[in-house]
Each structure stands twice: as C-alpha cells, then as structure tokens.
Amino acid sequence: MSAQSEANLKGIPTKPYDLLREGLIVFAFVAVLTIVLAAIFSSPDYPAVTIKEVAQKQPIAYLQMVTDYFSGNSDLQTYGPPYTKNPENAQTFLGIAPANIFGVTIPIDAQKDFVITPLEGIAKMDPGVKTALDQFQAAGDKQQQAWIKNYSDALDKAAKDEESGAHQSTTTKAETGKDTASTLNLPTGDYGPVSVLMQSMLTFARAGFMAGALNTTSTSPYAFDNTKALLFMAGDVESDVADKLDMQGGEWGIGHETGNYPGAWWLWPYTFLYQIPAIGNSPNADALVGGIMGILLLVLIFLPLIPVLNRIPKWLKVYRVIWRDWYKEHGKT
C-alpha cells in the first residue's frame, strides 16, 4: 500500500486481502469441479435441429412449414419490427413498443426469402422447376392460393393418416433400393405446379442446401448471419421438439436443461416471470419480462440513492458477518 493510501485510510479499520490468491483458488476449484462433473455426467446437450434433418425424417412437417410460407399467410409475414412493417404487432411495455423505435432492421419477406428465392436458384439448374415456377408466377393470385390450399389440405390429411398409421408418406430405401429422397405420396389433386415446386424444395433441403441458400447474401461470399435459417425453423417443428423435451415456456423454457440435468438456474428470476399467468399468457410477454428485468437492474444500480431501500444493508447487518473478526475484537461499536 502506498503512503498516500495509508494516509487516506488512517483510522479506518482494514484487513489484508490477496485478490490474486483468492482468484486462483476459485479458478482451480471450479476447473476441477467442472472436469469431474463432465466426466461423470457427460454432456446433456440435445443436438441442433437442422432443416436437413427435418426434411429427411419428417417430410410432411417440413412441407407444411414451406407451404405456410409459400401462401404468404404465415405469422412471420406480418410479425412486425424488426422483420416487417407492421408496427401494430410490436410488443409493448407501459404503452411503449421498443421494436418500433428502431423499426425494420432485418427486412424479411417470408414468402419471397424462404420459398421463391430458393426456387429461383433451383430453377437455374432444373428446367422442370423453371417451367413450374414460371407457370405459378404467371397465374393470378386467386389461382395460386387455390393450388397452395389444395396441396396444404393434402399434406394435412397425409399427416393425420401418418399419425394413425394408415398412410406411409414416403417410400424408404429399404423398400425400393433407392435413395430416401423419393417422391412424397399424396393423393391426386388440383395442385397445379405447386407439387413440382414443393417436391424440389424437399429434395433441396434433404441434400442439405436449404440453410446455406437462406443464409447466403449478395454482399459477402461468407455466411455470418443465420437469422433467416433460424426463423425458417421457428415454428411448429421446433415447438414440437421443445414439447417432447419438456422445454416449453410454461415448463421454464431456457431454464430447463434436456434430460434430468440442472439447466441455467441463474436465469430463474427471468424465466420465473413467464410462469405468472398474467405475463406468460400475454401477447406482450417478452416486452413485459424485459421491461421488468430492466427496472430491477436500474434499482440495483441506483440502490444507494433510493430512500428506504438504501437502508436495507444496515438493517440486514450482513456486513457484520463479513467483518465478524473485527467486531469480535472491538465489540458492537
């Protein structure tokens, strides 16, 4: 300690503290504990759900997702900032919509970005897809929606039949000796060019190209932004996976790890708020939780300046536990 520091602290009780030693002790303890627990329990992490995996294992679910975007009527199409210009859909807190302040920072047209653009790329390599796409785009909006609805209804029926075991939606390699990316078996219907387009989207995704096509930008040869690929999957598919893992919002969501493992317990004040029905069931749930946590953070920051609350440490007397050796020697002065 310098002479100036000693002068400033003259008459003030102090105690020695080796910060470096304490830091090394804590680091060593945590490192050993982490290695031991990892060796005993391994990793509880559930592998990432990919577009390729969904297309291969659940083709009907994948196509239902694609046709939803293709119709232009998906929830994402009118989500609001930061993706679309629908400010009325932005979540609010105390009458304020933070997303509207910043506006549309990541513009997304789900129909075009998630379906039309990938199909245009496929059409450059497949004349059949180009013909089907041209036919679809040349038709009127009413006809387009009729084709998509007929195809979507057929998918819904196939999904119900598959659940009941009455319908085998795909032909497997074991049955045909061919690759699993075979044609989806749907009943005959008035699908127009939609059946060709959706089959090409299924084949494209099963080959593992869909995520790359969504993340590709015209300004960079490298893909650093995965927003579109993540949003593409942020629907019923990931919700079903979360449901099977008991990781829905009503089950503590991100604070609940897969399997019988403790999750991010330090986030419990945040996830706890979602368990309050008035908050968790609100369309503004995220904004409410974020606003409440922001207010609590400000309270902690300015606690020394807030009347009554700044007296809590003196009332709790936790400092007497920390400085117990000094109080033991000098009494209750």
- Output DSSP code: residue 112: I
What per-residue confidence (pLDDT) applies to 176?
A: 32
Rounded-to-integer distance, Cα 4 and Cα 316, Å: 33
| CA neighbours closer than 13 Å in the CB half-sphere of residue 144 | 17
Rounded-to-integer distance, Cα 263 and Cα 283, Å: 26
Residues 6 or more apart whose CB falls under 8 angstroms from that of 214 comprise 113, 114, 118, 228, 229, 232
**Are 44 and 51 contacting, i.e. CB atoms less than 8 angstroms apart?**
no
Residue 234, Cα to own-chain centre: how many angstroms? Answer: 7
Rounded-to-integer distance, Cα 238 and Cα 65, Å: 11
What DSSP letter does each residue of 178-235 carry, written as one string?
A: S-S-----------TTHHHHHHHHHHHHHTT-HHHHHH--SS-SS----HHHHHHHTT
**Cβ density class 86-120: b for 16+ within 10 Å, e for less:** eeebbbebeeebebbeeebeeebbbbebbbbbbbe
Whole-number Cα distances in Å, 228 to 61, 109, 111 = 18, 10, 12
- Sign, Cα dihedral of 125, 127, 129, 130: positive
Other residues' Cβ atoms within 10 Å of the Cβ of residue 326: 13
Rounded-to-integer distance, Cα 109 and Cα 68, Å: 13
pLDDT tens track, the chain, 333 positions: 677 877 877 878 777 778 899 999 999 999 999 899 888 877 667 778 899 999 998 999 999 999 999 999 899 999 999 999 999 999 999 999 999 999 999 999 999 999 999 999 999 999 999 999 999 999 999 999 999 999 999 999 988 887 776 544 443 333 333 333 345 778 888 999 999 999 999 999 999 999 888 887 656 666 678 889 889 988 778 888 888 877 787 777 777 777 666 677 788 888 889 889 999 899 999 999 999 999 999 999 999 999 999 999 889 988 888 888 888 888 765
